[in-house]
Chains A and B, each alone.
Chain A
Amino acid sequence: MIFFQSVRMALLSVITNKIRSFLTMLGIIIGVSSVILVVSVGMSFNGQISDQFGDMGTNLLSVNVMGRGVTSSLTYDEVIAYNKIKGVSGVSPTLSGNVTAKHRNNNVDVSLEGVIPAYEHVKDFHVQSGRFVLNIDSQYRQKVAVLGSSTATTLFGSENPVGQDIRLNGETFKIVGLLQSKGTSLMGSNDEKILIPLATAERFLQTKGIQTFEVKTVTEQDIPTVKAMLANSLEQKFKDSSAYDIFDAQEMIKSMEKTNALMSASLAGIAGISLIVGGIGIMNIMIVSVNERTREIGIRKAIGAKKSNILIQFMIESIFLSTLGGLLGIGVGLGLVWIAGKFTPFPIQYAWNMVTISFVFSFVIGVLFGIIPANKAARLRPIYALRTD
C-alpha cells in the first residue's frame, strides 16, 4: 500500500519536474547507451575477425615473399617442393593482378588470380557449376577462366556464364566454372574475382616467379612445425628474415582479439565511469529534492509517516530515476547499435548481456546514490521540517 503510494509520488515528482528529471537521467542514459554501443561493436568486430580468419582456415599459412636483392621470388618448383614437408596437405601458389573483364556491354574491373588445381583443396573453395582449373589447362596455357559469383552476376546477370566467352583486357577466355559464393573477408571480396591457370597468368600478367602462396597443413597442430620448417627454408634462401612473411590465421585471430578485447574493456570502463558520474548527478538532484520538500516531509511525519516510510519514498524516487534512465539508455544504445549496423560492412551483434547488466547496474546506482539523500529526508525532525518553507 505504502509502496504503491511511494511509487506514485515518485512518478508525480518526476513528471512535475520533467526537464530536471531528464537532465538528471542524462548521465545514466549516456553511460548505459555508450556501454551497450561500445560492447556491441567490439563483440561484432571480434566475431567478424574469428569468422573471417576461421573461413580462411585455421590450418592455413599464407606466405608472402618480398625477396632480397635480385631474387624477389621463388620459382614454381621451389614452392611445389614444400609439399614434401611433413604435415603439409597442399600448397597453392598464386599470381595476382587486376583486369578489366567485359561481356557484351558489361564492364567490370576485377582482381585476377593465377592458380593451380590445388587451390581448390587448399582454400576449400569449390565450383558450384562447371569445373575448376585443371593441370592440363596450365600445361597448354589454356585461356580458360573460373568466375567468382558476384563477378558472374555483374557480367551475366541471371544467365549461366559457364561455356560462354569473356574478354579480359581484350583477350578472349572461355568460362569453364562458377565459384561458390563465399562472402567478404578482411582480405577483400572472395566473390569478386576471376581465376585462370597459373601458367596462363604468368604470361597474361607478364610476371615470373611466385611471390605469394598458401600452405595447408593436415591438422591445426601441424601449423607450428610447418611454419618453422618454412621459415627455416626461406631463411636459407634469402638469409634475411624481413624478406618473407608467414601469416598464421590462428595467431592473428588471437592477437587481434586480444587488442580488441583490451580496447572494448577500456572503452566500457570509461562508459562505466560516466555511469557513476550519472549516479552522482542523481544523488545531487535528490538532495536538492529533499531540501525543497522539507515541508512535505514535515507534514507527512506529523500525520504519522515513519522514518522508513520517508526513506522508502525517496529511495523509490532515486531508483525510479536511475532505472528509467537505464531503460532509456538501453533504448538509445540499441538504437545506436542498429544505426551502427547500417554502416558496418558486416552484420552487427547486439550485446544482450550488457543490456541486462546495465539495467541491474543502473538499479544499483539508484540504490547506492539514493541512500544518502533518502536517509537525510528520513532523519529530518518534524518540528524543524514544519517550520521550513
Chain B
Amino acid sequence: MSQEPLIQINHMNHGYMMAGQRMPILQDISMTVNHGEFVAIIGPSGSGKSTLMNMIGCLDLPNSGEYILDGQNVRKTSDNRLAKIRNEKIGFIFQSFNLLPKLSAIENVELPLIYRGLSYRERKKRASQALEQVGLHERMYHRPNQLSGGQQQRVAIARALAGDPPLLLADEPTGALDTHTGKEVMQMIKTLNQQGHTIILITHDLDIADQAKRVIRIQNGVLTEDRRNPE
C-alpha cells in the first residue's frame, strides 16, 4: 500500500447556472481516502452526494477545487484522458447494474478491457477470473435478462473488478435488490474490501452505511460528518 492517499479532494466547489442564478451543489468539499478504506457517503436526496460521486468517478469536472486520484490531478484534462482514468482507476457498480442487454455476462465483463486495448486471450482470462470471483463462472454465457437481479449485480461487480482498478465506486448497489440479495451483495463488497480493494459506497440507507468502516455525511452540498464505525 502506497503512502500517499488514493483520493485527495481539496476545496471542491460545483454548481449550476439556473435562471441566471448560481445553484451551489457542492461547497468547499475537502476529503482524503486512503488505500484499503471502505467509505460510505450518505445524505438525503438532493444533498449533492450523486454529484460528488460523479466527481470522484471522473464523470464530471468540478467548477473549482483540486482532485487528485491515485497521484493524477483530474482537474485540467482532456475528455480522452478522463476516459482513460475512468478505465484504469475506477470500477463502477451502479444501482441499476447498467449491463449491456445484448451482450453475455462475460462480454459485459470484458468491455472495460476492450477499451483498455488488451488482447483477446488476456481479456477472456481476466473476465472469467472476475466472474469466478463473484461466483458466476457457471453463467458466463448468459444474457443479463437470463439472470436474476442479484446475479446481474454480481456481473456488474465482476466488470468493475476485471480491470483491477484501485477504486471501486458503488452507487446504491443494493437499491434495486430485495433485502436478501442486497445482503449478499453487501457481503461480497465487504469481502472485496477485506481482500484489499478500496471502496466508496454512495447510499441513503443508514443500515448499509453502518457496514462501512467510515461514514461521510453530506447535507446541502456541505460535508457535515466524517466518522469511523467501530470495527
Flag whether B38 is at the interface (Cβ < 8 A): no
Q: Determine the residue in chain B with the shortest Cβ distance to A9.
A: B102
User: How far is B39's CA from A356's CA once the two chains are assembled, in angstroms?
Assistant: 62
Q: Determine the residue in chain A with the shortest Cβ distance to B57.
A: A302
A304 lies within 8 A of B102 (CB): no
User: How far is B93's CA from A386's CA once the two chains are assembled, in angstroms?
Assistant: 12
Chain A residue contacts of B92, Cβ below 8 A? 302-303
A305 lies within 8 A of B83 (CB): yes
Flag whether B88 is at the interface (Cβ < 8 A): yes
Identify the stretch in B65-73, B116-124, B183-191, B203-211 within 8 Å (CB) of chain A at 4 or more residues.
Answer: B116-124
Flag whether B84 is at the interface (Cβ < 8 A): yes
CB within 8 Å for A295 and B98 given contacts A1-B114, A304-B115: yes
User: How far is B98's CA from A299's CA once the two chains are assembled, in angstroms?
Assistant: 7
User: How far is B129's CA from A99's CA once the two chains are assembled, in angstroms?
Assistant: 93
B86 lies within 8 A of A304 (CB): yes
For this complex, into which size category does the number of interface residues on chain B fall? 20 to 34
CB-CB contacts of B23-64 with A at 8 A, as 1s and 0s?
000000000000000000000000000000010010110000
Contact of A307 among B80, B116, B119 (CB under 8 A): B80
Q: Determine the residue in chain B with the shortest Cβ distance to A303.
A: B112
For the A-B complex, the count of residue pairs with Cβ-Cβ distances under 8 Å equals: 67
User: How far is B101's CA from A13's CA once the two chains are assembled, in angstroms?
Assistant: 11
CB within 8 Å for A12 and B115 given contacts A1-B120, A305-B83, A307-B79: no
User: How far is B59's CA from A5's CA once the two chains are assembled, in angstroms?
Assistant: 24
Flag whether A182 is at the interface (Cβ < 8 A): no
Flag whether A306 is at the interface (Cβ < 8 A): yes
Interface residues of B in 91-109 (CB under 8 A from A): 92, 94, 98-100, 102
Interface residues of B in 144-197 (CB under 8 A from A): 159, 163
B79 lies within 8 A of A5 (CB): no
User: How far is B80's CA from A382's CA once the two chains are assembled, in angstroms?
Assistant: 12
CB distance from A306 to the nearest CB of B (A): 5
User: How far is B99's CA from A299's CA once the two chains are assembled, in angstroms?
Assistant: 8
Flag whether A105 is at the interface (Cβ < 8 A): no
Flag whether B87 is at the interface (Cβ < 8 A): yes
User: How far is B119's CA from A304's CA once the two chains are assembled, in angstroms?
Assistant: 16
Chain B residue contacts of A2, Cβ below 8 A? 114-115, 117
Chain B residue contacts of A306, Cβ below 8 A? 79-80, 83-84, 115
Q: Determine the residue in chain B with the shortest Cβ distance to A378.
A: B79
Contact of A383 among B59, B80, B87, B94 (CB under 8 A): B59
User: How far is B118's CA from A2's CA once the two chains are assembled, in angstroms?
Assistant: 10
Interface residues of A in 7-21 (CB under 8 A from B): 9, 12-13, 16
User: How far is B132's CA from A182's CA once the two chains are assembled, in angstroms?
Assistant: 80
Flag whether A257 is at the interface (Cβ < 8 A): no
Flag whether A301 is at the interface (Cβ < 8 A): yes
Chain B residue contacts of A103, Cβ below 8 A? none
9 interchain residue pairs of minimum CB distance: A304-B87, A304-B115, A306-B83, A303-B112, A299-B98, A382-B59, A383-B59, A306-B80, A304-B86
Using a CB–CB distance below 8 Å, which chain A residues touch chain B? 1-2, 5, 9, 12-13, 16, 295-296, 298-309, 381-383, 386
Using a CB–CB distance below 8 Å, which chain B residues touch chain A? 54, 57, 59-60, 79-80, 83-84, 86-88, 92, 94, 98-100, 102, 111-112, 114-120, 159, 163
